[in-house]
Amino acid sequence: MAELEQESGEEKKSPKKLIIMIVAAVILLAAGGGVTFFLMKGDSSKGEKVEHVDEDEAAVHAEKLYFDMSKPIVVDFPKGSTVKHGRITVSMLVEGAETIEVLKKNEPMIRNNLLMLIGAQDPASLNTREGKEMLGKAVLDDVTAVLIKMAGKGQVKEIFFTSFVMQ
């Protein structure tokens, strides 16, 4: 008889445990579904924004790439200056691969303009950080002008001197 009471006692506890486990599973599934719903809702709203982006906003999100000029720019400074020669390697941060293609097509013009620009600089000022920063701004303006002239738009964001040697 004791065995019958234990069996009937176990039978009473089993359905309660089973119900608790089912309720817990339902709650977990509902919570997981809710989280998934909110994550998917957030992703779809981002997708809608991308569809309605105008050209100015698209330019902000364009891929940024580096363009390295194929050869260093070598200049001779005027006679009488303390520095005779300069060898400068230039890299540019640009937006989009199409800008790189325009730069490649027009590299001879860009190199010519940069040779003239750098050769006209005072070598003493190029020995300072401020002089190099001013040269970088002038190079950026010149390259942007070439891009606007040849392609209708300039997408060069920054100029980097990756090598700057003067002798």
82-116 residue pLDDT tens: 888 999 999 999 998 888 999 999 999 999 999 99
Distance CA 29, CA 82 (A): 78
Claim to verify: residue 70 and residue 119 sit in the same structural domain = yes
Across 23-39, average pLDDT: 64
93 and 152 both lie in a single domain: yes
Domain assignment present for 58: no
d(CA 55, CA 101): 20
Is the pTM higher than 0.85?
Answer: no
Shared-domain flag, residues 27 and 103: no
In this structure, are 91 and 113 located in the same domain? Answer: yes
Q: Which domain holds residue 35?
A: 2-52
Q: Are residues 48 and 97 in the same domain?
A: no
User: Would you state the pLDDT for residue 21?
Assistant: 75
Report if residue 57 sits inside a domain: no
**Domain end: 13, 28, 52, which one?**
52
Average pLDDT of the segment spanning 47-56: 46
pLDDT at 77 over 90: no
Please state the domain count of the chain.
2
